[in-house]
Chain A
């Protein structure tokens, strides 16, 4: 076995049996085949005739119309920085096209565009935020209540706690206002006390700089 694997053309059989005689082995190939190899046979010309011409015209017309239909969706971010003169006309022709109003009975509901949302967005957002804030307040108050219940006298009757909650509601409102103020501050993203104008550090660095400069 050892000798067999190394031989260059050492087939384990007589290659003449395959019909490959001496000198009829194909030439060794060097390198990959060319990308556009020469073809021995040239392609036959295309059919030409009235039918073909008409189909060609149909094809090109179809392509043209399909690109103008609203079904052809353009990516949103292809606005050139400089508006071209032609673009004005192109836009106009597209405006002429009727809007595509599909029958939504035939489509899944989730594909319905929600156009009204963007306009109403600010309002909705505020609402949701407020609701969530109220929720958190409620939770906070409840937690507080529970905490008070725990630390205080658990023997107290339910009535009293109810009264207390009545008071607390008022407190909460006040708290809520405070809360909002805090929020506004935080919206600013700066906390006043944290403002650093760099004065604290400047003297030292200045000295250092001067020191270095003197050399």
Chain B
């Protein structure tokens, strides 16, 4: 059996009285491509943000490569307000900031592209390598470890070749066309040397042909970099084509899970996406 890379147990994220993610449990095994789907506003991106440390989850536990990166239970005001389940299951609070989680090997992209807009394409990727540098402020400033700098530059150029941005390396990131910006986000996430790649709607706004190319790219990256991929996506063609397993959530709750075929036939999923006829 393959190792579990990411394991999410009973995660609840509550903002005030609104439960955005409700008792979500899922796991991603090594080498898998797993999709998280659901109608708009189902809480997919919130779940992503809770995993990567952008939001503090209200309750639950997340382990990454057998290491607990997040554990939480309702405290303070939340103790009264809490509307989720399993309130007494966890007793510790373990928090990690996004940069620490990134350092552990979790790379991510954003739904609403968050590139460093005024910097060049190459600089965008180089920044992701910053945390892997061995030098300190002094050696970096006075170029004592210029060999390392040269090495990471070379690595970044290789990455840009893979996502087909090598020729545009000196362009300003905001001047790239939309699809290329998405590619650059993926390259930047790859530059953090991740073992798990989280893609938040990588195909949003792409035409069918671009989507197909992206599908091939994600597969290729998984194989070449020995990655595990967790993605959120609305393009069902891409999801059904690429995923080993799928989790479906609606109103923050997990409603179905399994292989693409199983999920497609699940009545609850069809209801969530198409709505339930009231007459019946």
Our verdict on whether A and B bind, yes or no, reads: no
Residues of B with Cβ closer than 8 Å to A?
none
